[in-house]
Amino acid sequence: MTRYALRRLAQSVAVLLGVSVLVFAIMQLVPGDPIRAALGQQADPETYQALRERAGLDDPVPVQFVTWIGNALTGDFGVSFRTGETVLSLILERVPATLSLAVAAIVVALLIAIPLGTLSALNPRKPVDWFASLSSQAGLSVPDFWLGIMLILVFAGTLGWLPSAGYVALTEDPVDWARHLILPAITAGVSSGAILTRFVRSSVLESLGQDHVRTARAKGMRARDVLTWHVLRNALVPLVTVGGVQLAYLLSGVVVVEYVFAWPGLGQLAFQAVESRDYPVLQGAVLLFAVIFLLVNLLVDLAYARLDPRITYRSAR
């Protein structure tokens, strides 16, 4: 298990290095002058040149890359062209909001997927199965912005039960934090729940046909125990993989949901950086997204190997 974890960690480091090269190269290929875009056309030449020198844009491209990587390893991602704040401080400001939304959305997705997918698999070609199939298809088809707007119109506009937008920190007011979180979490969680529902259904159906399940039934084990200890336990393995990917996607910021609900997350920060050509913020945000995906995938692989020890055995051969 330790050798497997070290091998996966080394692979993640190699992928992260490749992503950092790709991100830096793409930023260099984007047309336009980011300093001029940040200062505007009326900025005086002295200020313009001082900011270029501060950002290191007059250095050769290889020197810029080595400097950026070296600084990034120490947590220094540069300074925002737009606000003058450090990139790390801007990212850290958005982490609590993004983490809150991602965790709440994946909880909503699991609350939808596990019961609905399991019931669908236990009742194939019956009304419950048809309902689950139609629900998952609808969840994948409905755009996030439309669902968010409909929820706002119903629960914030018509009923007045929940706020329409905004974010309140958990430390300031836990109740108001939860009230602001409900609608964006449902909006972001529905599409993930639709994806997970299909995987739960297929995994449970596959587990139901295994020999050990038929043996447990033949021995007279109660249906509830068979489902809990033999079916769901084995169906959990692929769910961990797909659920981890969905969690990484949510942690990287759901831009549309964040804009609809004025949620100050990492996705909104990255989009604002694109609009204003704030390259240091965009580079830092994209690199953070890559780290999130690699870290979540690493944890998922380790959990997968823990649930199914055959994986570590195959990788060691």
Domain boundaries along the sequence of the chain: 93-275+289-305
Distance CA 99, CA 265 (A): 9
Average pLDDT for residues 184-193, to the nearest whole number? 92
Lowest mean pLDDT among 109-123, 242-256, 262-276: 242-256
pLDDT at 75: 82
Q: Residue 315: pLDDT above 60?
A: no
Q: Which pair of structure tokens corresponds to residue 239?
A: 């769910």
pLDDT at 59: 79
CA distances, 113 to each of 135, 219, 236, 267 (Å): 10, 30, 12, 25
pLDDT at 234: 77
Distance CA 28, CA 105 (A): 35
Confidence of residue 185 (pLDDT cuts 50, 70, 90): very high
Distance CA 156, CA 113 (A): 26
93-275+289-305 under CATH 3.40.50.2000, yes or no: no
Q: Residue 37: pLDDT above 90?
A: no
Of all residues in the chain, the percent with pLDDT exceeding 90 is 19
Give the up-direction half-sphere exposure of residue 155: CA atoms within 13 A in the CB hemisphere: 19
- Output the CA torsion sign for 48, 49, 54, 60: positive
In whole numbers, what is the pLDDT of the chain averaged over residues? Answer: 83
- Given the structure tokens 């910021």, which residue do they identify? 253
Answer yes or no: pTM beyond 0.85.
no
Cβ atoms 77, 283 nearer than 8 A: yes
Lowest mean pLDDT among 85-99, 130-144, 191-205, 294-308: 294-308
Average pLDDT for residues 184-188, to the nearest whole number? 93
Q: Residue 5: pLDDT above 80?
A: no
Average pLDDT for residues 237-241, to the nearest whole number? 78
Confidence of residue 311 (pLDDT cuts 50, 70, 90): low
- SS3 track for 198-233: HHHHHHHHHHHCCHHHHHHHHCCCCHHHHHHHHHHH
Q: What single-letter amino acid sits at 181?
A: L
Q: Residue 150: pLDDT above 70?
A: yes
Q: Residue 312: pLDDT above 80?
A: no
Chain mean position to CA 134: 25
- Given the structure tokens 């850290």, which residue do they identify? 92
Lowest mean pLDDT among 51-60, 93-102, 111-120: 51-60
pLDDT at 313: 47
Confidence of residue 225 (pLDDT cuts 50, 70, 90): confident
Chain mean position to CA 312: 26
Q: Which residue has the higher pLDDT, 41 or 125?
A: 125
Q: Which pair of structure tokens corresponds to residue 276?
A: 């204003």
Average pLDDT for residues 285-291, to the nearest whole number? 86
Distance CA 121, CA 134 (A): 14
pLDDT at 310: 58
pLDDT at 78: 83
Confidence of residue 154 (pLDDT cuts 50, 70, 90): very high
Distance CA 90, CA 61 (A): 25
